[in-house]
Structure 1
């Protein structure tokens, strides 16, 4: 199998041309799609290799949250959006207070839907934003950067370390600044991207897999799941209302009508409804 060319001096492997996609612009659609999916298939293998580090990070985050601390995701561009996406899913899925798991993205809210030029290079912004959250030694920072060298992410890690907080880095480049400066480094070596440097692809996929594995495992260990049912769920829309009713029917052995009444009385909290049904 052909090896990737070495990236330019000082550049990470994520910037190197991928020998398997060198003729990308000349491929018919069927082959183009196949090449992209073949590269994506390599990501799960790379992420699985990081399992020991994910386990350590999970233990650290459980300890932080159990002690009353917070979990803050921080990143720029695609990495920041992935961090924000996962944090946003925690309250409705697991019923955790939104203050407990938060996310910071370089450039703020506008960067969630568009590029904010130069934001990832603003090292002062990371420190200021953590300061606004009163981030401290009892909290944990998860910094995401596919290249492992994004200034915004590195500034966040350095600041958090200086405060004595737990630090976790998620990257795709071994021996990168993020990998060496974080207390726990999760490094998924996915290799060169389909399009050189486009880390929204394999790099983004790897970070998403790692982060949702982390958040799911942490929430399970915090008791937000019973069996494989999300008992921490808050029914805030029709789909979640229906799911909550099914969970209550399964765990409390009640009829759908009884489950719906209990869920309504509990303000949409499956956990509260389950507790109330258990007292009957």
Structure 2
């Protein structure tokens, strides 16, 4: 029986729908997994206000010169590193803006590092190694909501006056009580008991998608629903940049190509150049003046 003062996390409980998992056919296994996965989006809906609050704080942090840190262990840590690593190519962000830290370091991205998650002191040290300060935002990731490594990081962040949030799948968890903004999703027990790379990992990935995407939209990295601030670092992204500029401006292929060359591949700059008849320097100035928002920059130009 569970100790009432330390209840068993939901993520560690037995899922009654999959007690016969080892006797199922392949089709039965994937069918029940699909059925369980369908529960995840509905479980996230009640925490959307907390997710939105976190987005607002992410935007405020970046605008005030701070940075955002995801920190976790195991699957949770890997998901944080993944989301952080997607921001520069998708939104042309400075790699310093959003950073992922995993217990055990980069080696732990591909290998299990025994005991890495058990040290709260190491969580704090890993933040300090990045010169984490009160202007920064720390977002902890822990399916169980009680990972010592993450608790140490969140405690350190709070101690120096930084804002904190956590994403867990165990409502009422120690980390949820510790952080300023708890995002606690009840996805229920896993198909495979304790395997939080499944529904818990899916929930964390969906929430991370929301956080980084919504924050970057609010930072002016998107026009309508287009990735206008992408970094065209390969042929696929270069082609996408051309398509986006042509779609928004209606310019011919040659005009688009020349605009992108003149502005060094900056998609947003090329769009404003073509739409407002500006040179690259003026377009950059107008975008900066409008906090990176194309629509706002365009309105400012047309109203003057």
TM-score per shorter chain, which class?
over 0.9
Q: Which residue of 2 aligns with 1:3?
A: none
TM-score, length-scaled by structure 2: 0.87
Q: Which residue of 1 aligns with 2:98?
A: 101
Structure 1 Cα separation of the partners of residues 51 and 126 of structure 2: 26
Change (3 A) 1:7 1:32: farther
Q: How does 1:1-280 map to 2 (within 5 A)?
A: 10=6, 11-277=8-274, 278=276, 279=278
Q: Which residue of 1 aligns with 2:299?
A: none
**Post-superposition offset of 1:148:** 0.3
Structure 1 Cα separation of the partners of residues 253 and 47 of structure 2: 42
**Post-superposition offset of 1:7:** 6.2
**Post-superposition offset of 1:257:** 2.7
Deviations 1:56-88 (A, max 9, x none): 111111111111110110000000000001001
Structure 2 Cα separation of the partners of residues 257 and 26 of structure 1: 62
1:7–1:15 CA contact under 8 A, matched in 2: no
Structure 2 Cα separation of the partners of residues 247 and 103 of structure 1: 29
Deviations 1:139-165 (A, max 9, x none): 100100000011111111000000111
Structure 2 Cα separation of the partners of residues 28 and 78 of structure 1: 27
Matched residue count: 275
Relative contact order higher in (CA < 8 Å, ≥ 6 apart)? 1
Deviations 1:121-146 (A, max 9, x none): 12222212211211111010010000
**Post-superposition offset of 1:220:** 0.5
**Post-superposition offset of 1:175:** 1.0
Structure 2 Cα separation of the partners of residues 150 and 63 of structure 1: 28
Deviations 1:2-49 (A, max 9, x none): xxxx86763211101100000001011111100001011100110112
Structure 2 Cα separation of the partners of residues 212 and 92 of structure 1: 15
**Post-superposition offset of 1:254:** 1.2
Return the index of the structure with the highest Cα Rg.
2
Unaligned 5+ segments in structure 2 are 280-304
Structure 2 Cα separation of the partners of residues 235 and 254 of structure 1: 19
Structure 2 Cα separation of the partners of residues 114 and 261 of structure 1: 46
**Post-superposition offset of 1:238:** 0.9
**Post-superposition offset of 1:208:** 0.4
Unaligned 5+ segments in structure 1 are 1-5
Structure 2 Cα separation of the partners of residues 66 and 157 of structure 1: 22
**Post-superposition offset of 1:258:** 2.3
